Amino acid sequence: MANAQTTKLKILDAAEELFADHGFSETSTRQITKKAEVNLASVNYHFGSKNELIQAVIERYLEVLVPNIDVELTGLKNDNPNPTLEEVFSVFIRPILSLNQQRKNGTSILLQLLGRSYTDSQRHMRRFFLGNYGDVVAKFVALVYKAQPGLSPSEIFWRLHFTLGTVVFTMASSDALMDIARADFDEQIAIEGVVKRLIPFIAAGVSAP
């Protein structure tokens, strides 16, 4: 089996950083293999194609993230049968922030990747997401509905997509925004600070009259 593992990992690590920084089509397999210090052909040998590499990069994150969110979701459901909207949205905080322990800048890398893949192919991403993690999504939506029973299903659909837009868009560019905040307001803010400002915003939005 040689050390295929480490070659595959080197490719994934190099690719995710380049994809997050410059986008998918702006990153070439030659850039990836050069940064990973592996042979050009190994992308196709190990992943088949560049597209399958893109998918592998994203799945590596979702594979650990979504189960973690699921744990928080059922934990919340058990501890508190009637959680508030803020509590429901907070189930994302710990799993998303803990990506930073798994990999340096893991949080912002994933969210940048999501932002890019989302704008690139909304429909495709949605199908993939619902296909693979539909039960977690359903669990989450059910909790939102319980916290805000006045909302019709279609209103929940719209408001959660608004929310998704806010989060993905903000987090995808959180590095730049934090830089600006530092420059314009002398504000020393980290990614956790952004999240803590985000939660009240979206909770208020979703529970708007």
Give Rg (Cα) of the chain.
Answer: 19
Going residue by residue from 8 to 27, which x/- string records binding to DNA, judged by CB under 7 A?
-------------------x
Which of DNA, its own copies, none has residue 2 at its interface (CB below 5 to 8 Å by kind)? DNA
Task: Identify the residue among 39, 74, 84, 119 touching DNA (CB under 7 A).
Answer: 39
DSSP letter assigned to residue 81? S
For 119-177, the three-class secondary structure string (H helix, E strand, C coil) is: HHCHHHHHHHHHHHHHHHHHHHHHHHHHHCCCCCHHHHHHHHHHHHHHHHHHHHCHHHH
The closest of 16, 36, 177 to 103, measured between CA atoms, is 16
- Structure tokens belonging to residue 116: 């890019």
Task: Identify the residue among 22, 30, 94, 127 touching DNA (CB under 7 A).
Answer: 30
Verify binding: residue 55, DNA, rule CB under 7 A.
no
Verify binding: residue 117, DNA, rule CB under 7 A.
no
Q: Kindly state the helix (H) or strand (E) to which residue 23 belongs, with its residue range.
A: none
SS3 40: coil
Task: Identify the residue among 9, 44, 67, 74 touching DNA (CB under 7 A).
Answer: 44
- Choices 3-11, 34-42, 96-104, 149-157 (CB under 8 A): range interacting with its own copies: 149-157
- The residues that touch its own copies, with contacts defined as CB under 8 A, are 23, 25-26, 115-116, 118-120, 122-123, 126, 153-155, 157-159, 161-170, 172-173, 176-177, 179-181, 184-185, 187, 194, 197-198, 200-209
